[in-house]
Structure 1
Amino acid sequence: MADNRLTASVKWVDGLTFVAESGSGHQTVLDGNSPGTAPSPMEMILMAAGSCASVDVVSILEKARQKVVRCECTVTGERVGATPNVFKAIHLEFIVTGHDVAEKHVERAVALSADKYCSVAKMLEASVAMTHSYVIRAA
């Protein structure tokens, strides 16, 4: 039976700066100051959503044999404005650049990521309004 647990540790450096390490040994710095010297924990949530969804979109487009040369995901989060200042809405916009990339494939890839595959977005959508859009650019 597969172990479905992931682990991470977070160690205080100084001030409001921390080093987070994944169970696989990768490290990143986080900063609770605004603005700080590193991403804040809430910015990391946006980056996690964008990167998780981007993995899906690129993978799906590659399987559809689309000639993608670049995929960027711009993530915008709107917070409630009171403590706890959680996200109430997050929008992911994919900018897909390639050669003769078919809109139907990009639309399908974004929809599949949003509706089925992106673990981070699926987890967030329980309490956050998640929206998606895309732009296709010629390489």
Structure 2
Amino acid sequence: METTIDWGGPQGMLFTARTGSGHVAVMDGAPEGGGHNLAPRPMEMLLSGAGACTAYDVVLILKRGRHAVQGCSVKLVADRAETDPKVFTKIHYAFTVTGKSLPREAVERAVKLSHEKYCSASAMLAHTAEQTLSVEIVEA
């Protein structure tokens, strides 16, 4: 896996990531740090990546279990250290999974498997951050 990050130049703190899979993502800094608030911050992208990684796992696990999953969202709320490096110290993952007659045990198992076995991003973040989970199931 690879990615290349290019700085947008001396007029700000805009960075463009070009991934090995051929995609592009843009990140920017806060105005107080020289950015122009044109795109997500790099740490927001890191948090978003962890959320997408675990949501991906949950959907895949439920589909493989032949459950009628129709939606999955996860809201991540994180705290960061006060001093540099300002790593994540706490992250709460609030899952909302929508489907027809989804067994709570299956959804909770999928979330647990993602965090304990499959999601590389949350596994890395677990080295600095206490992680908590909650699950809401919505009938479709």
Structure-1-length-normalised TM-score: 0.92
Unaligned runs of 5+ in 2: none
Residues 88 and 125 in structure 2, CA contact (< 8 A), matched pair in contact too: no
Say yes or no: does 1:79 pair with 2:80.
yes
**Alignment partners' CA distance in 1, 2:87 and 2:29:** 15
| Residue identity in the other structure for 2:46 | I
Identity of aligned residues (%): 42
- Among 8, 30, 39, the alignment partner of 1:13 is 8
CA RMSD of aligned residues (A): 1.2
| 1:29-48 → structure 2 map (5 Å cutoff) | 29-33=26-30, 36-48=37-49
Deviations 1:79-102 (A, max 9, x none): 122232221011111100111111
The corresponding residue for 1:3 is none
Deviations 1:40-80 (A, max 9, x none): 01101110100000110000011111111110011111112
Structure 1 residue ranges (4+ consecutive) displaced by more than 6 angstroms after TM superposition: none
**Alignment partners' CA distance in 2, 1:120 and 1:81:** 22
| Residue identity in the other structure for 2:56 | V
Unaligned runs of 5+ in 1: 1-5
